[in-house]
Homo-oligomer: A and B are copies of this chain.
């Protein structure tokens, strides 16, 4: 295999930085892991976890201090998985989270972690959007990334055409229902749809499904996207 490059959206592989994230990759999606990089400064106890795990999964492990410091920039990073980028088809029968034009990688990672926490395992991302393969996303998800099905779409119509037979709940300021009211009407499968950090969902989503609004005081403009989507997932998962 050629030498590892700094992460770039155009590459066909990406990096999962951090020991915990590497273990999640090996346990949950070993077929995607090309190899595991470790630092010469890694703790012995961490090595004693990684060595048998790599062996079991048939993945090569190698020391790569330079590549690791390039991947992690400022933060300490003692291990990383190099993994193949794969779009994974979403389940027709499961509930989905749809993220429309999400911009922030940290937000995206946090939302992935929360989604798994509330048993939403299928995530659609409508482009243009943050690169869901970016190591920052994978890191912010704390490895939840490797337990999810995640697929990018060029437009909401493309997504909608693939998943017609389900309920859509766009979260939008003009929404008529509270999350609890919407939950009462929700059946499986459904999709919770969220807009981006700066402007929310565009107006055309007013004509799609049942609009939901999270009640909040008028003393803040809006809730952070990761916060709003987490509250929605929590209520719908109760």
Contacts and interface: CB of A to CB of B under 8 A. Distances in A.
Contacts of A230: 223, 227, 230-231
A147 to B, nearest CB: 6
Given A224-B110, A226-B226, A116 B219 contact: yes
Given A226-B227, A230-B227, A230-B230, A117 B147 contact: no
A45 to B, nearest CB: 18
Interface string A109-122: 01001101111000
A80 interface: no
B110 A220 contact: no
Instruction: Give 10 closest A-B pairs by Cβ, nearest first.
Output: A117-B216, A117-B220, A227-B230, A231-B234, A119-B217, A116-B219, A116-B220, A114-B227, A117-B223, A110-B224
Given A110-B227, A117-B223, A224-B226, 10 more contacts: A113-B223, A117-B219, A118-B216, A118-B217, A119-B219, A142-B221, A180-B238, A226-B226, A230-B231, A231-B234
Q: State how many copies of this chain the complex holds.
A: 2
A214 interface: yes
Interface string A203-238: 000000000001111011101101100110010001
Interface residues of A, number: 26
Given A226-B226, A231-B231, A144 B114 contact: no
Contacts of A180: 238
